[in-house]
């Protein structure tokens, strides 16, 4: 199946192409970026809003995602608002450093990334898949890879003392987006078998 990505970012389309099996799901960048108001209250709602807007415009199957960082000590602050944390005018590094500052007095540093994928094939066929990466908020900004909050987030497991921005290969295999893509691939492979 071929999907356009509800994003004008070709790098994001490349990332999904690497995470998904092209023989099952092929993802290409949309020919233009649409401005979609993400006013949902959940990741699912926002992913759906993006997917529907692109489907209505292009009339082809769409893949949309919504993701964010959930921090136990700041439950109402990030989540679906992660990209807008701290307000306008901040870049990724500013937001990550603001998070470190707001976590200085917090003992509970538990956090997890969430990714929800919405595969909008038609108004009658819409499928959602969720992936998570559990971890901790570190004490400093470190690492050259990744983006967003990666330099302050430590995944649980063998690299707990490193930020995910320091271990790009591990992140590629274990990220919230990778987990969501694995679930989607499994579903669509089984679905194809049933159709045949």
How many Å from the N-terminal Cα to the C-terminal Cα in the chain?
A: 14
Domain carrying residue 95: 2-195
Specify binding-site residues for Mg(2+): 37, 66
Active site residue 88: no
pLDDT in tens, 177-191: 999 999 999 999 887
DSSP category for residue 7: S
> Which pTM was predicted?
0.91
- Three-state secondary structure call for residue 70: strand
Please report which confidence band the pLDDT of residue 14 belongs to, taking 50, 70 and 90 as the band edges. confident
pLDDT value, residue 130: 98
Please state, in angstroms and rounded to a whole number, the distance separating the CA atoms of residues 155 and 162.
8
Binding site residue list for substrate: 7-12, 67, 147-150, 171, 176-177
Q: Which residues are annotated as a binding site?
A: 7-12, 37, 66-67, 147-150, 171, 176-177
Catalytic residue among 66, 88, 92, 110: 66
| pLDDT tens for each residue of 82-124 | 989 999 899 999 999 999 999 999 999 999 999 999 999 999 9
Q: Do β-strands 153-155 and 125-137 pair in parallel, antiparallel, or remain unpaired? A: antiparallel
Question: How does strand 62-71 pair with strand 2-5?
Answer: parallel
154 backbone dihedrals φ, ψ, rounded to 5°: -115, 120
Give me the number of domains the chain comprises: 1
CATH number at residue 31: 3.90.950.10
């Amino acid at each position: 199946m071929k999907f356009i990505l509800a994003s004008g970012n070709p790098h994001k389309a490349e990332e999904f192409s690497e995470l998904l099996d092209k023989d099952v799901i092929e993802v290409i960048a949309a020919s233009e970026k649409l401005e979609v108001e993400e006013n949902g209250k959940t990741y699912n709602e926002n992913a759906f809003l993006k997917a529907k807007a692109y489907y209505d415009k292009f009339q082809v199957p769409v893949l949309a995602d919504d993701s964010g960082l959930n921090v136990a000590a700041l439950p109402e602050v990030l989540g679906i608002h992660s990209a807008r944390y701290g307000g306008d005018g901040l870049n990724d590094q500013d937001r990550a450093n603001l998070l470190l500052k707001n976590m200085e007095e917090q003992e509970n540093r538990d956090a997890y990334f969430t990714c929800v994928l919405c595969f909008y094939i038609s108004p009658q066929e819409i499928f959602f898949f969720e992936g998570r990466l559990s971890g901790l908020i570190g004490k400093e900004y470190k690492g050259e890879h990744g983006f967003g909050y990666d330099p302050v987030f430590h995944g649980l497991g063998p690299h707990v003392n490193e930020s995910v921005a320091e271990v790009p290969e591990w992140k590629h295999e274990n990220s919230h987006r990778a987990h969501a893509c694995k679930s989607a691939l499994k579903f669509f492979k089984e679905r194809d078998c049933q159709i045949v």
